[in-house]
């Protein structure tokens, strides 16, 4: 049988699940941009793309050349097609306005153009995370600037989410709200080909991911839970756990979607004004949508991440996601 490309998959979704044609186009454009980013990432030192820009983003983090390049690729690919009312990104302080010379569309695109920046220069997997929302009617206007309030919708309102991972293989992992599928980039065809159908996170696990160097800053429920993991067979959980921390959320989540596990980036006492490190709109929400669609769970320790009503584009949130049993246990310790 001939391979099912992303385009064919999306067209079949339009037929069977009524996926709107403009959403299909949007996903294809994002996928095309991710191919362009993959191309830049793999050039590495040969393309002069490694290293820092010498600038900071709105969160005060140093921008790498590839952060900025990836952001530009996504903006340029998506601004002209008429499918978007606006965009927002980790690398831009404010919402991106669709230039007046182009028509506007019904959707909002929010992204982390390059996740795992600290791994770029050491040749470890990085990725692009994206979330698609519908622009509420009251903010839809061909003439006026888009109000940032339009983006501040809970994760349950996402119509699609996914990530591209640039690793030994480039993959696109996607949900349109009915399960999770994965595509692998066939570099000879230049197409994403369906390779992973109906991705499911195993309910239980013996693998965890957390940046242990922050242990002294954690809150009591997280200390308790990780202490229990570390005591292994002799402890209350009665099994030995393995630890993995890649420091690219994309790669850690990809591993969990592949073979289970729990990923944690808890709030900690380093900067009390910031609840955790990860951002709600373009990291936690799209990943939580994928994880839930794959049968896993995702909370901030107290509530389902997808239920949080955002207050700002760059809002941070604590994250516990992955295999249901473990996420429920550590969430329970917070009650």
Q: Which residues would be at the binding site for ligand AHG (CB under 6 A)?
A: 61, 90, 112, 115-118, 211, 247-249, 265, 277
Please check whether residue 13 is in contact with residue 163, taking contact to mean a CB–CB distance below 8 angstroms.
no
Q: Is 252 in the site for Mn ion (CB under 5 A)?
A: no
| Residues in region 146-175 near Mn ion by CB under 5 A | none
Q: Is 112 in the site for Mn ion (CB under 5 A)?
A: yes
Pick the closer one to ligand AHG by CB: 28 or 115: 115
Q: Is 326 in the site for Mn ion (CB under 5 A)?
A: no
Q: How many of the chain's residues bind Mn ion (CB under 5 A)?
A: 4
At its nearest, how many Å lie between ligand AHG and the CB of residue 278? 6
Please check whether residue 332 is in contact with residue 299, taking contact to mean a CB–CB distance below 8 angstroms.
no
Pick the closer one to ligand AHG by CB: 117 or 288: 117
Distance CA 88, CA 101 (A): 19
Pick the closer one to Mn ion by CB: 28 or 90: 90
Q: Considering only 40-48, 82-90, 209-217, 314-322, which stretch makes contact with Mn ion by CB under 5 A?
A: 82-90
Nearest to 181 by CA among 293, 259, 262, 281: 293
Nearest to 286 by CA among 160, 135, 107: 160
Q: Which residues of 263-298 are buried (b: 16+ CB within 10 A; e: fewer)?
A: bbbbbbeeeeeebbbbbbbbbbbbbbbbbbbbbbbb
Pick the closer one to ligand AHG by CB: 105 or 116: 116
- Give the one entry of ligand AHG, Mn ion, none that residue 277 binds, where binding means its C-beta sits below a cut-off of 5 to 8 angstroms depending on kind: ligand AHG
Residue 128 DSSP SS3: strand
**DSSP annotation of 102:** S
At its nearest, how many Å lie between ligand AHG and the CB of residue 92? 13
Distance CA 304, CA 320 (A): 10
- Give the one entry of Mn ion, ligand AHG, none that residue 248 binds, where binding means its C-beta sits below a cut-off of 5 to 8 angstroms depending on kind: ligand AHG
Residues near Mn ion (CB under 5 A) are 90, 112, 114-115
């Amino acid at each position: 049988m001939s391979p099912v490309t992303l385009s064919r998959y999306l067209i079949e979704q339009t037929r069977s699940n009524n996926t709107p044609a403009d959403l299909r186009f949007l996903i294809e454009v994002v996928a095309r941009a991710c191919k362009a980013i993959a191309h830049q990432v793999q050039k590495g030192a040969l393309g002069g793309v490694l290293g820092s820009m010498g600038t900071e983003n709105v969160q005060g983090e140093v921008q790498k050349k590839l952060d900025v390049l990836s952001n530009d690729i996504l903006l340029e690919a998506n601004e002209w097609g008429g499918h978007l009312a606006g965009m927002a990104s980790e690398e831009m302080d404010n919402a991106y306005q669709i230039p007046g010379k182009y028509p506007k569309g019904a959707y909002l695109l929010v992204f982390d153009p390059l996740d795992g920046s600290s791994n770029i220069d050491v040749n470890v997997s990085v990725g692009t995370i994206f979330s698609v929302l519908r622009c509420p009617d009251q903010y839809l206007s061909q003439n006026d600037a888009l109000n940032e309030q339009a983006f501040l919708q809970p994760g349950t309102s996402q119509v699609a989410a996914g990530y591209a991972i640039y690793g030994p293989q480039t993959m696109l992992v996607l949900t349109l709200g009915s399960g999770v599928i994965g595509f692998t980039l066939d570099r000879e065809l230049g197409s994403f080909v369906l390779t992973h159908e109906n991705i499911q996170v195993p309910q239980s696990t013996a693998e965890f991911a957390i940046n242990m160097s922050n242990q002294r800053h954690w809150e009591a429920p997280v200390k308790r839970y990780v202490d229990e993991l570390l005591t292994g067979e002799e402890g209350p959980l009665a099994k030995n756990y393995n630890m993995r921390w890649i420091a690219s959320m994309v790669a850690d989540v990809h591993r969990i979607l592949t073979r289970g596990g729990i990923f944690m980036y808890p709030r900690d006492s380093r900067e009390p004004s910031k609840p955790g490190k990860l951002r709600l709109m373009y990291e936690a929400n799209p990943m939580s949508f994928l994880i839930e669609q794959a049968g896993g769970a995702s909370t901030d320790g107290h509530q389902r991440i997808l239920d949080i009503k955002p207050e700002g584009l760059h809002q941070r949130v604590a994250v516990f996601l992955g295999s249901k049993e473990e996420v429920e246990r550590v969430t329970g310790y917070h009650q």
